[in-house]
Amino acid sequence: MSQTDIQSDIHKSILQQQKTEDRRKLMLNGVLLVLLLLAPFVMYPVFLMKILCFALFAVAFNLLFGFTGLLSFGHAAFLATGGYTTGYLLSNFSGLTTEMGIIAGTLVSTVLGLGFALLSIRRQGIYFAMVTLALAQLVFFFFVQSSFTGGEDGMHGVPRGELFGLINLEDNLNMYYFVLAVFLGCYLLVQRIVSSPYGQVLKAIKQNEPRAVSLGYKVDRYKVLAFVISAALAGLAGSMKSVVFQLASLNDAHWHMSGEVILMTLVGGMGTLLGPVIGAMFVVNIEYQLAQGPLRDWVDPILGGIFVLTVLAFRSGIVGEVQRFVRKNMG
Amino acid sequence: MSMIFGVPMAVLSGQLLIGIINGAFYALLSLGLAVIFGLLKIINFAHGAMYMLGAMATVIMFDTLGVNYWVALFLAPLLVGIAGVLVEYFLLRRIAGQDHIYSLLLTFGVALIMQGILTNIYGVSGLRYAMPDMFKGGVNLGFMFMPYYRAWVIVAALVVCFGTWFMIEKTKLGAYLRAGTEDSQLMQGFGINVPLLVSLTYGFGVMLAAFAGVLAAPIYSVTPVMGSHILIVVFAVVVIGGMGSIGGAIITGILMGIVEGLTKTFYPPASSAVIFLVMVIVLMIRPNGLFGKEA
């Protein structure tokens, strides 16, 4: 056999392997989709929607943290801005259909994200985290002082309204499928972004920023765009959350929320697509379970313990560890 | 009554005094953060919790064992310092080679644990700590009334801040510390126990926080969550001063306290946000902070 033959053989076998892997992935995704579609018949839809909203929030955060290497400690600001904007518009302008309120919330978050990005993007590592934290705190105090947010009491009674003026969202099942559709759309969008040439540049920046600069990439522009997309999706998550629960509160703007989304991403597996989703599911579930049981007063210390354990022992998160296990044992 | 910009002199000087006192706390806390960050490159999110521990320990020791204020002023920071050394030794040391971000996340977890446990035991409504007898009353300065205790807080904070700055910037021990963080292998080669130095530095940094906590016990409400809010303010102070700049942290701390006090006098709604606003402006003009060196 000549060398080119061998090479083409190797090439073929790699292609083959990739094909089976793709097929496996496709099947896995299919199963997941069916599960998601059937889930509201088994579980309480509002609880599922809560998971989906936080999962979207974590996916948005992970685009910045996991794929670009920028730790924002201020993402609560976008969640809250989306939620308050949508809540305010839907409560005060009855002519608006739900999706218009949600789009407006997302847009305002996007603009805010651009502002954050321009102020913070030249800082790196922990400096970046501090700056985003302080900016988010500014947003928090704005919401505390503003009268339209209802201050400490929060904004209540946000009408769910009708999607496109046609579909009644007061019905939990309709609402669930709407949230699911938005979530899946965003998930696919992030998947597309990450695997695009643009996403590759983001990964390059994460791995070695000076090298990306020396290759001629305008690194700051790439980072700003990633930040803005991330803020937009986080805002969208907040907007949907306020429609689902019909309320928006200061909790969403508090810096603990920024910490929580970090926890979700880290526990699930940062820098993986599915990780933040699993992480959100895990954290929301644990909070819910603890709140039911005798440990209801111990939610914070237990979350803190999970934080410490994850940082010390499982830095690649649930999905990362599973991937490693699969690679090791199933070749 | 004399007026300044439409505000009575007494009101203005009263707010100014409160501002300086808050500034003294900001200075002590941001100094500890700056020491830990500047020397160890650890973002200590547990700093607020350590401050809270100092205050809680003061109250609890008084309630259960009758430990008086002066003993607590030494004992509480010592205990918290030991707790800090343990946190460094058992937790932070394990992630020493990793990205600095992990130190932030780890200490955030530690803070959640400490705060959560104490909240369960003592609730969030706040404990009361009686003012020590010798500090009761105050002196009339003519234009304003100055309580003795507030004067003591300012003096004590300034002395400790200056002492710390002097130790790190001017003494041999400080030189070892700074050298150890520049090149720990070389220092180890010279026979200096760098890991011990790191533990002690972290312990010392959180001792400063606990000292602030003891000072705070008689005048602020002592609750398990008292550290959570002030922590974020203090982070902003450190960023304004220039991360890692020790002198910068002290000066900025006091300055920000005054700015906050003045804002409270002239435009109250903005008083809790003004420090973050200053931070944004400073970052736009001087990205490395007022006293930051690194480019």
Residue A237 contacts residue A60 (beta carbons within 8 Å): yes
Mean pLDDT of B114-142: 82
Q: d(Cα B267, Cα A196) in Å, to the nearest integer?
A: 49
**For residues B214 and B234, what is the distance between their CA atoms, to the nearest angstrom?**
17
**Stretch A104-129: mean pLDDT:** 88
User: Helix, strand or coil for residue A71?
Assistant: coil
C-alpha pair distances (Å), B96 with each of A325, B88, B93: 26, 10, 5
> Is A152 part of any domain?
yes
pLDDT of amino acid A2 = 65
Smallest CA-to-CA distance from A259 within A69, A70, A50, A73 is with: A73
CA distance B233 to A31: 48
Please state the domain count of chain B. 1
Number of domains into which chain A is organized: 1
Backbone angles phi and psi of A56, in degrees to 5: -65, -40
Q: Which residues of B touch A305 (CB under 8 A)?
A: 109, 113
Determine, yes or no, domain membership for A177. yes
- φ/ψ of B217, rounded to 5, equals -50, -45
Say what the pLDDT of residue B295 is: 41
Of B93, B115, B133, B110, the closest CA to residue B44 belongs to B110
Alpha-carbon gap, residue A138 to A269, rounded angstroms: 30
pLDDT of B86 higher than 50: yes
pLDDT at B214 exceeding the cut of 70: yes
Interface of A with B (CB under 8 A): 71, 73, 119-120, 122-123, 125-127, 129-131, 133-135, 137-138, 141-142, 144-145, 255, 259, 262, 266, 297-308, 311-312, 315
Residues of chain A contacting residue B104, judged by C-beta atoms under 8 Å apart: 71, 73, 126, 129
Residue B183 lies in a domain: yes
Q: Hey, what are A285's tokens?
A: 């579930």
Average pLDDT (B140-146) is 75
The answer to whether position A71 is within a domain reads yes
| B189 part of a folded domain | yes
What is the pLDDT at residue B294? 55
How close is the nearest chain A Cα to the Cα of B236, in Å? Answer: 6
Average pLDDT over residues B225-235: 87
Q: Which of B101, B116, B238 has its CB closest to that of A71?
A: B101
Q: Which domain holds residue B59?
A: 22-129+151-225
Q: Is the pLDDT of residue B150 over 70?
A: yes
Nearest to B102 among A130, A134, A311 (CB): A311
Structural domain includes residue B87: yes
Stretch A216-220: mean pLDDT: 88
| pLDDT score of B102 | 87
Residue A214 lies inside a defined structural domain of this protein:
yes
At residue A23, the pLDDT reads 82
User: Would residue B113 count as lying in a domain?
Assistant: yes
Q: Specify if A97 maps to a domain.
A: yes
- Complex prediction ipTM: 0.82
Q: Does residue B11 form part of some domain?
A: no
Of B116, B236, B269, the CB nearest to A300: B116
Segments forming the whole domain that contains residue A60: 45-253
Q: How confident is the model at residue B206 (pLDDT cuts 50, 70, 90)?
A: very high
Please check whether residue B120 touches A, CB under 8 A. yes
Residues of B in contact with A139 (CB under 8 A): none
pLDDT category, B4, cuts 50, 70, 90?
A: low
B8 located within any domain: no
Maximum distance among all alpha carbons in chain B?
68
Which of the 8 DSSP states describes residue A196? Answer: S
Residues B221-227 have a mean pLDDT of 88
Q: Is residue A138 part of a domain?
A: yes
Asked whether residue B279 is domain-assigned, the answer is no
Give the residue-averaged pLDDT of B47-73: 90
Is it the case that residue B251 has pLDDT exceeding 50? yes
pLDDT (average), residues A260-279 = 90
Asked, for residue A163, whether it belongs to a domain, the answer is yes
Q: Residue B243: list chain A partners with CB under 8 A.
A: 126-127, 130
- Reported as a pLDDT band with limits 50, 70 and 90, residue B2 is low
- The answer as to whether B272 is a domain residue is no
| Residue ranges in A208-270 assigned as alpha helix (H) | 209-214, 219-245, 255-268
Flag whether A8 is in a domain: no
